Amino acid sequence: MQQLHTLTSAMRRALQLAANGPAEGVNPRVGCVILNPAGDTIAEGWHRGAGTCHAEVDALAQLEPDAARGATAVVTLEPCNHTGRTGPCAQALIDAGIGRVVYAVADPGRHSAGGGDRLRTAGVDVTGGLLADEARAFLADWLVAARLGRPFVTVKWASSLDGRAAAQDGSSRWITGPAARLDVHERRAGADAILVGTGTVLSDDPVLTARASDGTLLARQPRPVVVGRRPVPAGAAVHGHPLSPWFLSDHDVPALLRSLHERGIRRVFVEGGPTLASAFVRAGLVDEYLVYLAPTLLGGDRLALGDIGVPGIDAQRRLQVDDLLRLGDDILLVAHPADSPDTFRTTDTARSAPAAQI
């Protein structure tokens, strides 16, 4: 039986392989490493997108018949247990004669979960939870989307220390400095879609691209989504985005997220303004907060958030701070709802043996 450090090294390699897969779409990024009984790597694979071989099958395809018998498959996500465009990976591993499967995170999907149980029933030794925290962080958006049927939602705002997103005359460029603005653009590039309300489009005329410090476009761009019923002029800057903008009039936040999920969006970056951001907070549909704080005071009533459904102190929305970053003179506070049952932050115990038992 492989030593823990061998399996851990293989899982880290599997996570590296998983990163080769597409970051957008409905499928997770998964990597797989197959070890022989001596602990040597004999095959590697990853999932390249919808309709292609899953990571386990991709790795098995590199082996001669019977070469996988008695081997160990190290996979970042529990092997799937359903038939879609491809067959169940759990059965493929069984058919190949794999003797042991070690995975990081259990599959939360209603239709795809249960691969671990299927493997155990077939006599395969199965262990879950190895490097689970790292895998959850890597798969955070997909895990939320798979469990809840909606995209992972990040709400971002920049404000003065007294919580104002703009001066009294409505001007807001720039509250934060260059380092904070560059950080925003890099995080935009990690999202599938960037959402703003029509009010922001009409007042600020943003193009909603992700840009480098020199103004050039980053390689990956979020889909611009404008939410609201007011018409957007044909000459608005958002029409110059390299991806055609989507215009959605639905003010029902859960319905809006379901619609985006059905379009293959699994990570949403809510950029503004206060009306749209407040609607997401009020609906309890925020997974991550990015709050950029500038060391300045503006006063007035141009608050970063409006009514979020807190009539009294007992109803306050408590957050748990995940990180504090200094960006030039500004501070970025990264947080999530304190009462959030986030899949990627909870312990993977439902169908997993403790990692210490590996």
Query: What Cα–Cα distance (Å) separates residue 199 from each residue in 153, 195, 206?
Result: 20, 12, 11
Tell me the β-bridge partners of 325: 332
Supply φ then ψ for residue 310, to 5 degrees: -120, 90
Residue with tokens 């899953």: 54
271 catalytically annotated: no
328's tokens: 């030039």
Task: Note whether 127 and 102 are within 8 A (CB).
Answer: yes
Query: What Cα–Cα distance (Å) separates residue 156 from each residue in 71, 95, 186, 250, 323?
Result: 46, 47, 13, 21, 14
Q: For the purposes of burial, counting CB atoms within 10 Å of the CB of 315, is it exposed (0-12), middle (13-18) or buried (19 or more)?
A: exposed
* Residues in CB range of 21: below 8 A, 6 or more apart: 27, 29, 30, 31, 46, 47, 48, 49
Please identify which of the residues 44, 56, 78, 288 carries the catalytic annotation. 56
Annotated active-site positions, please? 56
